[in-house]
């Protein structure tokens, strides 16, 4: 089975349609929705859509499976999750091809997404989440226990579907919870296929995957039997989840939008940093929460840096993800495509804006927007203040570090930031003033599974990864025992 072109993948899906996983059984939906190939802006497949009754079945199955799974020794939970990682690794060709069809990212990069998901999974399993002894003396013994919560409702986004769903699955199941996962209805195919491939890895009901629109997600966030919601999405969606989950005081892990800033000091080596900056800004056509969304460049090097980045943009191949040597794919969906074009139209109307490169949709089928770099902007402009989430980068000048930090910290976002400098000590001093959950020096983008990741301000609640992220899927209980117990 060679899945190296859209027609082959569509034929494969037609003869092997995806289904949902509920209580250990693969089930169809009572109705189906079209899935759009963003490289052609046309239907490539259909996916089953869950009814409210099927959501109830999935939550009920997860609830019924919880007592046995939560009591399963951690070594056995770890073993089964390693088997899950092997499913990813053994089926990377099929999963990556399906993912490229529905998401648009070049095939070589969706393969990396699948492989990296397995790597992140295995790394998380090396973290010790056992009980902690806080005291053991003449006054008695105190043990801090980390007990699973129950059913976790997980909502994954369309930009990195497998790469962001697998850590949610791992966090939930490793800590003894059961899960109901809902992928984005824009990109459900690879996730539903993964559920099919992993159907027998876990006991029935431990791992459930349904597809549905926002109404199904809303029902999940209000469901009395769902103990925790883990979401990667927009700030607006996160706020709706907070409001709807308030009646049951659900535990929340929300990784939301990031209008991430990069500060580039005048002492950098442009030969070294320009390719890295371009890659960190335009990765996945800018559709990554932690990508560079705003760049602040010292005035002494601003013009040269912009022209060098524009030159890379002009030489970057953009097209369908199955075309060899393509580096950037389309924007994933019509709604996001229209939103980005709206921002570009508004920016073009501002006399201060200068487009160093790009600024238009490509004259071809699909949701393609040229890699775009804009200068001359400032705070108060939509392209600067909001997360565009596409292949568009505003570059602003600054004169001193204090000014750069103040501009970078402006606004409601606080996910990630970076400082670029030949002097690491001075870069660390600049980094100390940045308000963000993650700050890099001389790099940008990428998580370490052993290090907690999440946002400040309106960029999220809680953390994923690291021991802190895993334990946020548990309830802490202090157990007091008498001396000598």
- Give me the sign of the Cα torsion angle 441, 444, 446, 452: positive
Catalytic residue among 94, 102, 289, 370: 289
Q: How far apart are CA 104 and CA 218, in angstroms?
A: 27
CA 447 to chain centre: 11
On the 0-12 / 13-18 / 19+ scale of CB atoms within 10 A, 123 is middle
Burial 219-232 (b: 16+ CB within 10 A, else e): bbbbbeebbbbbbb
Catalytic residue among 102, 255, 370, 387: 255
Dihedral class, residue 134 (left if φ above 0, else alpha if ψ from -120 to 50, else beta): alpha
Strands of 416-420's sheet, edge to edge?
A: 354-357, 372-375, 392-398, 294-298, 261-264, 416-420, 438-441
Q: Is 255 a catalytic residue?
A: yes
Q: Is 289 a catalytic residue?
A: yes
Q: How far apart are CA 388 and CA 392, in angstroms?
A: 7
Residue 478 to residues 145, 281, 364, 481, Cα–Cα distance (Å): 6, 45, 61, 10
Q: Which residues lie across from 154 on neighbouring strands?
A: 181, 230
Say which DSSP state 389 is in.
Answer: -
Active site residues: 255, 289
């Amino acid at each position: 089975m060679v899945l190296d072109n859209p027609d082959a993948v569509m034929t494969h899906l037609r003869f092997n349609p995806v289904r949902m996983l509920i209580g250990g059984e693969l089930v169809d939906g009572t109705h189906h929705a079209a899935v759009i190939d963003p490289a052609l802006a046309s239907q490539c497949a259909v996916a089953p859509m869950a009814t409210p009754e099927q959501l109830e079945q999935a939550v009920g199955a997860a609830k019924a499976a919880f007592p046995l799974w939560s009591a399963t020794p951690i070594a056995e939970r770890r073993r089964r999750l390693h088997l899950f990682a092997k499913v990813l690794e053994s089926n990377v060709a099929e999963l990556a091809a399906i993912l490229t069809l529905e998401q648009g990212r070049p095939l070589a990069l969706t393969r990396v997404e699948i492989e990296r998901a397995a790597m992140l999974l295995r790394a998380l399993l090396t973290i010790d989440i056992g009980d902690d002894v806080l005291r053991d003396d003449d006054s008695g013994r105190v043990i801090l226990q980390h007990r699973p919560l129950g059913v976790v409702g997980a909502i994954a986004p369309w930009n990195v579907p497998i790469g962001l769903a697998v850590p949610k699955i791992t966090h939930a199941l490793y800590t003894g919870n059961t899960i109901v996962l809902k992928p984005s209805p824009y990109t459900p195919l690879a996730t539903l296929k993964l559920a099919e491939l992993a159907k027998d890895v876990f006991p029935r009901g431990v791992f459930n995957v349904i597809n549905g629109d926002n109404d199904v997600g809303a029902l999940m966030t209000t469901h009395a039997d769902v103990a925790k919601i883990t979401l990667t999405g927009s700030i607006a969606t996160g706020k709706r989840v907070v409001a709807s989950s308030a009646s049951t005081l659900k535990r929340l892990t929300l990784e939301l939008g990031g209008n991430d800033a990069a500060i580039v000091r005048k002492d950098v080596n442009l030969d070294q940093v320009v390719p890295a900056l371009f890659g960190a800004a335009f990765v996945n056509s800018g559709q990554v929460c932690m990508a560079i969304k705003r760049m602040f460049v010292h005035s002494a090097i601003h013009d040269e840096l912009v022209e060098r980045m524009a030159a890379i943009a002009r030489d970057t191949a953009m097209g369908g993800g199955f075309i060899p040597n393509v580096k950037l794919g389309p924007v994933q969906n019509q709604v996001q495509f229209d939103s980005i074009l709206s921002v570009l139209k508004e920016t073009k109307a501002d006399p201060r804006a200068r487009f160093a490169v790009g600024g238009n949709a490509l004259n071809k089928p699909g949701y393609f927007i040229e890699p775009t770099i804009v200068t001359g902007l400032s705070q108060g402009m939509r392209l600067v203040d909001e997360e565009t989430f596409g292949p568009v980068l505003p570059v602003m000048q600054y004169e001193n570090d204090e000014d750069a930090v103040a501009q970078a910290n402006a606004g409601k976002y606080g996910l990630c930031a970076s400082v670029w400098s030949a002097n690491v000590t001075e870069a660390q001093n600049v980094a100390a003033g940045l308000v963000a959950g993650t700050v890099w020096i001389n790099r940008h983008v990428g998580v370490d599974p052993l290090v907690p990741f999440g946002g400040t301000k309106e960029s999220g609640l809680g953390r994923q990864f690291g021991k802190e992220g895993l334990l946020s899927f548990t309830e802490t209980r202090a157990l007091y025992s008498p001396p000598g117990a």
